[in-house]
């Protein structure tokens, strides 16, 4: 299976299924007296569930997590159907008839729809909360109850009056169409109302076709039993076999759709499906009012439907209480966050009050000093790590500044620092933070800015300094700068980001008059160099 092309297998089954069914009818119609008729018919009957079992087995092996659960349940259901069909065929070979009373085949057959129902309940519940899932199940039960009431009143009840059967016999016989009906509604709900299905639309359509085929076959089977047409039961087997072949097709088409397509196809709100049970109950009330005959099948169905409706309302009330609790908790959480935010603002205000202008500015340039820059950087890092607000940093050094001091004196050096500070100040935004870091080093912090903004500012400053000359004592002094650039990244602390920008400046000073970018991701470094 793992080495077989899926498309080839799809085409093979598409052509093989009608040939298989035709072959079955040829055997039972044109060779009625052949001694091997029942044996050949039995082999043909188990082919469908056998093929589906094999395909589902390899499908389960390939799936993971939620998909594995879904296909595992379908696989188990198919296995039990195969075993039931095998036992059924043995009955035919030994007795050439099936007894009406409950037997091993009946019991094993009934396990198949139970596992299938569990599979589609799981599929429906995959993207639902527990309470919402409970409501969905109750809705499906209401719809099935209404349909069952109509069916029993109009069709099944009158038919069973002709059938001499015990309560266990009737229970087993009716369990088949009832479970298949539940499966059909489970598929319907998954097809139209599940927002993120793990099975393709085409696969669900084929599953629905398989279930409808099984349901029709079961109804015909009951009709044959009621009117003592057991000899015709052998003609029914191809329909069941065809239904099992459809399971194989559905499995092969499970992954055929693209996930975005599956998701976009579920545009209907889940709550739209909940109108169906209410409408069905209203319809049942109207029909019962028209045919008011006291306590009959319609009345009993109406009582059970109202009971299920009461359960639904109870679940809704419980869900509303849970939502109120969640809303209250969310409100408390929001209030706590607001308190934390207010606390942070007060701390910042307190810092601004404590530190005077003299304490936070550099006496030579009037820019922020290192002490104040450090405190701002700590605050920005804290804010960035909590709220993911990025910022970039430039560390600037005046090239060959020692030679300027040595040649022209410290007074000229001070002028050079002041002129450089003016150029830097004319280059930054009003929201940027500019400071003298010490000696000939300057720092610029760009709040709410990514790396690209920092690089652009560095290039702008670098170009201005190259084009600028300072005239001192009729001598023209050209100044260049080396710049290191970095940006805050997730989980960065003060030492992390300062070390990175310091390393960038150190490398830039080796070459002089250049810009070096340092980040955690080397790919970003190369992007701007």
* DSSP character string of 443-497: EEEEET--HHHHHHHHHHHHHHHHH-EEEETTEEEE--EEEEEEE--TT--HHHH
pLDDT at 94 (0 to 100):
66
Q: Give buried/exposed letters for 308-343 (b at 16+ CB in 10 A, else e).
A: bbebbeebbeebeeeeeeeeeeeeeeeeeeeeeeee
What does the pLDDT read at residue 258?
42
Average pLDDT for 3-8: 67
440 is catalytic: yes
For helices 37-62 and 6-30, give the axis angle rounded to 10 degrees. Answer: 160
Nearest to 492 by CA among 519, 515, 524: 519
Question: What is the model's pLDDT at position 256?
Answer: 47
Residue 289 scores a pLDDT above 80: no
- Residue 454: the pLDDT is 93
More confident residue, 41 or 453: 453
- Give dist(CA 84, CA 111) in Å, integer: 9
Span 300-305, average pLDDT? 72
DSSP state of 438: E
Report residue 443's pLDDT band, with 50, 70 and 90 as the boundaries: very high
Highest averaged pLDDT of the listed ranges 20-24, 29-33, 169-173:
20-24
CATH of region 362-528: 3.30.70.270
Most confident of 157-171, 264-278, 377-391, 446-460: 446-460
For residue 318, is pLDDT > 60? yes
Tens-place pLDDT, residues 344-382: 888 877 766 666 666 788 888 989 999 889 989 999 998
Q: How many CB atoms lie within 10 A of CB 131?
A: 16
Query: Where do the structural domains in the chain lie, given as residue ranges?
Result: 6-325, 362-528
The number of C-alpha atoms within 13 Å of 375 and in the hemisphere containing its C-beta is 15
User: What element of type H or E holds 433?
Assistant: strand 433-438
Give the pLDDT band (50/70/90) at residue 396.
Answer: very high
Q: In angstroms, rounded to a whole number, what is the distance separating the alpha carbons of residues 259 and 250?
A: 17
Percent of the chain with pLDDT over 90: 16
Confidence tier at 52 by pLDDT (50, 70, 90): confident
Q: Is the model's pLDDT at 444 over the cut of 90?
A: yes
Looking at 160-169, 207-216, 423-432, 470-479, which range is the least confident one?
160-169
pLDDT at 528: 44
Contact 76, 52 (CB under 8 A): no
Q: Mean pLDDT for the chain?
A: 78
Between residues 86 and 5, which one has the greater pLDDT?
86
pLDDT band at residue 501 using 50, 70 and 90 as cut-offs: very high
Q: What is the pLDDT of residues 178-217, one digit of tens each?
A: 778 778 877 877 777 666 667 788 888 888 888 888 888 8
What is 22-36 written as a DSSP string? HHHHHHHHH-TT-TT
Residue 77: partners with Cβ closer than 8 Å, 6 or more residues away:
111, 112, 113, 114, 115, 116, 119
> pLDDT value at position 270?
43
pLDDT at residue number 45: 80
Residue 156: pLDDT band by 50, 70, 90 thresholds?
Answer: low
> What integer pLDDT is reported at residue 268 of this predicted model?
46
pLDDT at residue 311 in the model: 76
pTM here is 0.49
Q: Is the pLDDT of residue 262 over 50?
A: no
- Of 162 and 436, the structure prediction assigns the larger pLDDT to 436
Report whether pLDDT(130) > 80.
no
383 pLDDT higher than 60? yes
Indicate left, alpha or beta for 164 from its phi (over 0: left) and psi (-120 to 50: alpha). beta
Quote the pLDDT of residue 310.
76
User: Which of 24-33, 47-56, 109-118, 125-134 is predicted least confidently?
Assistant: 125-134
Q: How confident is the model at residue 435 (pLDDT cuts 50, 70, 90)?
A: very high
**Beta carbons of 43 and 257 less than 8 angstroms apart:** no
Which among 72, 49, 47 has a CA at the least distance from the CA of 59?
72
Band of residue 529 on the pLDDT scale cut at 50, 70, 90:
very low
Query: Which residue did the predictor score with more confidence, 61 or 451?
Result: 451
Angle at 340 between CA 336 and CA 346, to 5 degrees: 140
pLDDT of residue 474: 73
Could you say which of 67, 180, 297, 440 is catalytic? Answer: 440
Q: Is the dihedral of CA 376, 396, 456, 422 positive or negative?
A: positive
The residue among 100, 237, 95 whose CA lies nearest residue 172 is: 100
Alpha helices, DSSP H, located in 291-432 = 297-354, 357-360, 370-387, 401-408, 410-427
* C-alpha closest to that of 441 among 454, 459, 424: 424
Using CA atoms of 212, 216, 221, 223 in order, give the dihedral in degrees to the nearest 10.
150
Picking from 61-75, 216-230, 284-298, 318-332, which range would have the lowest pLDDT averaged per residue? 284-298
Average pLDDT value for residue range 254-269: 47
Stretch among 63-67, 95-99, 200-204 having the lowest mean pLDDT: 95-99
| Average confidence (pLDDT) over 19-24 | 83
Residue 392 bridge partners (DSSP): 446, 487
Query: Residues 257-274: what's their mean pLDDT?
Result: 45
Quick one: average pLDDT of 416-424? 92
Tell me what pLDDT residue 2 has.
47
3-state secondary structure (DSSP) of residue 66 = helix
pLDDT at 107: 78
Paired tokens of 242: 């065809």
Q: What is the pLDDT of residue 424?
A: 93
């Amino acid at each position: 299976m793992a080495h077989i092309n899926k498309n080839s297998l799809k085409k093979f089954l598409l052509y093989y299924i009608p040939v298989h069914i035709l072959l079955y009818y040829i055997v039972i119609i044109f060779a009625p007296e052949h001694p091997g008729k029942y044996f050949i018919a039995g082999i043909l009957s188990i082919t469908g569930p056998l093929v589906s079992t094999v395909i589902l087995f390899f499908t389960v092996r390939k799936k993971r997590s939620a998909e594995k659960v879904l296909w595992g349940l379908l696989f188990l259901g198919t296995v039990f159907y195969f075993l039931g069909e095998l036992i059924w065929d043995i009955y035919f070979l030994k007795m050439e008839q099936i007894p009406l009373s409950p037997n091993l085949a009946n019991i094993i057959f009934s396990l198949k729809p139970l596992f299938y129902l569990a599979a589609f309940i799981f599929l429906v519940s995959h993207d639902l909360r527990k309470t919402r899932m409970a409501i969905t199940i109750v809705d499906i039960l209401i719809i099935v109850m209404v349909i069952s009431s109509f069916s029993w009143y109009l069709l099944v009840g009158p038919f069973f009056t002709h059938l001499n059967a015990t309560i266990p016999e009737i229970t087993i016989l009716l369990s088949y169409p009832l479970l298949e009906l539940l499966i059909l509604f489970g598929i319907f709900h998954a097809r139209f109302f599940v927002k993120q299905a793990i099975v393709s639309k085409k696969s669900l359509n084929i599953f629905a076709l398989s279930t409808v085929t099984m349901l029709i076959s079961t109804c015909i089977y009951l009709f044959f039993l009621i009117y003592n047409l057991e000899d015709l039961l052998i003609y029914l087997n191809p329909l069941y076999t065809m239904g099992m072949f459809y399971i194989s097709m559905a499995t092969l088409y499970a992954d055929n759709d693209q996930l975005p397509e599956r998701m976009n196809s579920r545009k209907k709100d889940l709550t739209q499906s909940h109108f169906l049970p209410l409408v069905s109950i209203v319809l049942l009330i109207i029909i019962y009012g028209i045919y008011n005959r006291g306590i009959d099948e319609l009345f009993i169905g109406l009582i059970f439907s109202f009971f299920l409706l009461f359960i639904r309302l109870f679940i809704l009330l419980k869900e509303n209480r849970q939502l109120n609790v969640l809303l209250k908790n969310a409100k408390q959480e929001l209030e706590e966050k607001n308190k934390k935010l207010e606390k942070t603002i007060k701390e910042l205000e307190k810092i601004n009050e404590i530190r005077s202008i003299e304490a936070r500015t550099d006496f030579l340039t009037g820019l922020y000093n290192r002490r104040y820059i450090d405190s701002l950087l700590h605050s920005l890092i804290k804010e960035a790590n909590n709220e993911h607000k990025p910022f970039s940093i430039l560390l600037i050094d005046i090239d060959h500044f020692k030679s300027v001091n040595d040649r022209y004196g410290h007074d000229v050096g001070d002028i050079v620092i002041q002129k450089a500070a003016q150029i830097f100040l004319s280059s930054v935004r009003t929201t940027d933070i500019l400071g003298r870091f010490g000696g000939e080093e300057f720092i610029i912090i760009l709040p709410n800015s990514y790396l690209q903004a920092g690089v652009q500012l560095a290039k702008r400053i670098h170009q201005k300094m190259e084009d600028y000359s300072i005239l001192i004592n009729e001598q023209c002094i050209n100044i260049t700068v080396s710049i290191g650039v970095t940006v805050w990244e997730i989980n960065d602390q003060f030492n992390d980001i300062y070390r990175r920008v310091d390393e960038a400046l150190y490398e830039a000073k080796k070459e002089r008059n250049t810009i070096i970018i340092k980040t955690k991701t080397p790919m970003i470094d190369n992007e701007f160099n």
